[in-house]
Structure 1
Amino acid sequence: MTQVINYGIIGCGMMGQEHLRNIALLNGARVAAIYEPDEIMGAAAKAIAPSAEMMESVWALLSRDDLDCLLVASPNYLHVPQLEEIAARNPLPLLIEKPLFTDPDDARRVRDLGASYPAPIWVAMEYRYMPPVQALIEQVEAATGGVKMLTIREHRFPFLPKVGDWNRFNRYTGGTLVEKCCHFFDLMRLILKAEPVRIMASAGQEVNHLSEAYDGEVPDIWDTAYVIVDFDSGARAMLELCMYAEGARYQEEISAVGPKGKIEALVPGPGRFWPTHLGVPPVPQVIVSPRHPKGPQMVEIPVDPTILDAGDHNGSTFYQHARFLELVRSGGTPEVGLIDGARAVEMGQAAQLSARTGAAVEVK
């Protein structure tokens, strides 16, 4: 009989509720306890996981003796203090949402915690687990003969409303190139199997949130960016981000090119945003374009509708949880560890600095 794994959840806003829906689809997993300080979000979380007990504090949740693992899906700026609290009180296997931290000064704090933490810590980088992206990762070497150029384009909707409007301000998010784009910097390192050495960026706030004000303060979060990254392998990567292009057919387009050819992954945005008058949403695609013989080969990568409907990330949250759950049951090493999470944040911070100063930033 499969052992039931009990989750304790810290933070159940929009992303936390996506985690709840996906945990409910797993065999042998249940949410036993939730800490969510916002009354409305707490009620929504309880509706998704009615058997979970709502806890009055992080400390109270960590004091339970029936939990097997933890998930942190709180606002970005709370991740480090909550990680410290978990390490001090009940260091269980942990899945912690990206970005791992927002303040450059926290990098060493996180690494020091990781060095003494007795259980696995997995950083939630959902984009790795989108089925078309997984297919690209599996085929990229054979299709390209070794990637020389990698391009990631995300044309998407603006930042959605969050509790307390924390995601409208750089001081809480770490900035768009950290908050949003750490996913893409993680993918760059994963696909290229290399480390960044130089980052150049041009970015800013051009369209979104300019007419908004919260306690008299206008949001300063960016919505536009180009980022170029040189890697120690000699490969180059580029990110193009536009957060006012939700009319596009595909939200993410990834292209990897090498001496043998090119491979692309095309990923649609959340199905709930697709206009119903246009019919069914587009299906993800992977396209391989060899140089010899010439001729693109396209394969559709459909996702189970039940899994697709459980979140906004093309099914990736489910597949990530399935692998994390296996880690909790059987042990081993997280597929996305603290170093991966930290490097993705540091690349985003270097890109933010480059965009502010107009200078290339060397990455140590």
Structure 2
Amino acid sequence: MYGVIGCGMMGQEHLRNIALLPDAGVAAIFEPDPEMRRIAGTLAPGAALVDAAAEVISHPAIDCLLIASPNHCHFEQLREVAATRALPVLVEKPLFIDAAEASAVKAFAQTYPAPIWVAMEYRYMPPVARFIREAQAVTGGIRMLTIREHRYPFLDKIGAWNRFNRTSGGTFVEKCCHFFDLMRLILKSEPVRVMASAGQAVNHLHENYGGETPDIWDNGYVLVDFASGARAMLELCMFADGSRYQEEIIAVGEKGKIECLVPGPSRFWPENLGPLPTPQLIATPRRPESPYTIELPVDPTLLAAGDHNGSTFFQHKRFCAAIRGEGPIEVTADDGWRAVVMGMAAQRSAHEGMAIAEPLALGCDSLPR
């Protein structure tokens, strides 16, 4: 049984997907916003709605925790869990957002006595998972990796926490740690240099929250050199709402090229354009006598349960298996830490107009806050 801390938009997606698991449920929920709390109660009607995170952590019926609160709460709530009752935790990305806490987060992860799984849903999108399995064979060893996300702006969230760098971590941390995690996973290597250019061109420029205008970026490029000699690029545009495919991942090597095309959330697809595009995997050898395209439809029930192409369901299945001793923790706290630090290096590079060498070795004080 899960205990859940935070049931805003992402927390509700988790609740819908936990409800699809045949052998799991939710025993207790803490959500301070009245409307989000009400919705959470309808999604998990058997759960106790409590008034503090501590009441979830100490609830006798829970076996594990899900933390899906706003970004700036994650690490403090992990420390609260550790001080009370060291349970297995699935914590939403990013693992932390304050560069001054980078060393403390690493030390915490090394000493926490129970499993920590960082929620990197993009790994578990069926077309992306298939891409990861086949990329090395098709390319003969990846030398170039491109990840493009053309999507809609940041959604409205409680307190507008995702509109400001100080509470979100900045776009390259909040939004893009997923992609830095994918780069490391696909290339099986670590970054040695990060270069970025980014800015706020279109979105949120005329919004005002308590006298403040959002400072979150809506577009950018990041280039990453890896120790293996491979290069990766991220292209992000958050004012490309009409894109047929939201994510495109392309890997190229000596033998050929493989592409993965993933549509955005089904709830945002205009009905007048017909059915939601089907995810695709496209392999193109350099000698093109044997190219192939595979369509990878996702179960409509899973599409309806969230905005991440069914991945949240598959992630929870594997998390549950891991805490039962039936599989490994696939996205460790160290994975989550590295993805955040790469994002912080990209934020710094774009701010300062300089390449960041050895981003994972940066001292905490040299990272932007």
**Which TM-score band applies after superposition, normalised by the shorter structure?**
over 0.9
Q: Which runs of 5+ in 2 are unaligned?
A: 362-369
Pair 1:136 & 2:131 matched: yes
Q: Which digits, 9 at most, give the CA deviation of each residue in 1:258-308, with x for residues without a partner?
A: 000000000000000000011111000000000124453110000111011
Pair 1:49 & 2:57 matched: no
**Matched-pair contact (CA < 8 Å) for 1:87–1:113:** no
Post-superposition shift, 1:112?
1.6
Match of 1:171 in 2: 166
* Structure 1 consecutive aligned stretches of length 4 or more whose deviation exceeds 4 Å: none
SS at match of 1:29: coil
Post-superposition shift, 1:132?
0.3
For 2:168 and 2:225, locate their aligned partners in 1 and report how far apart those are by CA, in whole Å: 25
**Matched-pair contact (CA < 8 Å) for 1:311–1:317:** yes
* Identical-pair percentage: 64
Match of 1:122 in 2: 117
**Matched-pair contact (CA < 8 Å) for 1:198–1:361:** yes
Q: Say what the alpha-carbon RMSD is for the aligned residues.
A: 0.9
Match of 2:353 in 1: 358
For 1:331 and 1:106, locate their aligned partners in 2 and report how far apart those are by CA, in whole Å: 33
- The residue correspondences of 1:276-355 to structure 2 (distance < 5 A) are 276-294=271-289, 296-330=291-325, 333-355=328-350
Amino acid at match of 1:108: S
Q: Which digits, 9 at most, give the CA deviation of each residue in 1:84-124, with x for residues without a partner?
A: 00011011111000000001111111122122211110000
Pair 1:154 & 2:158 matched: no
Match of 1:3 in 2: none
Pair 1:248 & 2:243 matched: yes
**Matched-pair contact (CA < 8 Å) for 1:7–1:32:** yes
Match of 1:64 in 2: 59
Pair 1:105 & 2:104 matched: no
SS at match of 1:348: helix
For 2:79 and 2:169, locate their aligned partners in 1 and report how far apart those are by CA, in whole Å: 19
Post-superposition shift, 1:329?
1.6
For 2:192 and 2:260, locate their aligned partners in 1 and report how far apart those are by CA, in whole Å: 26
Amino acid at match of 1:130: M
Using structure 2 for the length normalisation, give the TM-score.
Answer: 0.96
Amino acid at match of 1:219: P
Pair 1:9 & 2:7 matched: no
Q: Which runs of 5+ in 1 are unaligned?
A: 1-5
Post-superposition shift, 1:333?
3.2
Amino acid at match of 2:186: I
- Of stretches 207-216 and 287-296 in structure 1, the one that deviates more from structure 2 is 287-296
**Matched-pair contact (CA < 8 Å) for 2:151–2:241:** yes
SS at match of 1:33: strand
**Matched-pair contact (CA < 8 Å) for 1:196–1:229:** yes
Match of 2:367 in 1: none
Post-superposition shift, 1:318?
0.3
SS at match of 2:142: coil
Match of 2:77 in 1: 82
SS at match of 1:148: strand
Pair 1:22 & 2:17 matched: yes
Pair 1:231 & 2:226 matched: yes
Match of 1:40 in 2: 35
**Matched-pair contact (CA < 8 Å) for 2:143–2:230:** yes
SS at match of 2:324: helix
Q: Which digits, 9 at most, give the CA deviation of each residue in 1:214-255, with x for residues without a partner?
A: 001000000010000000000000000000001010000000
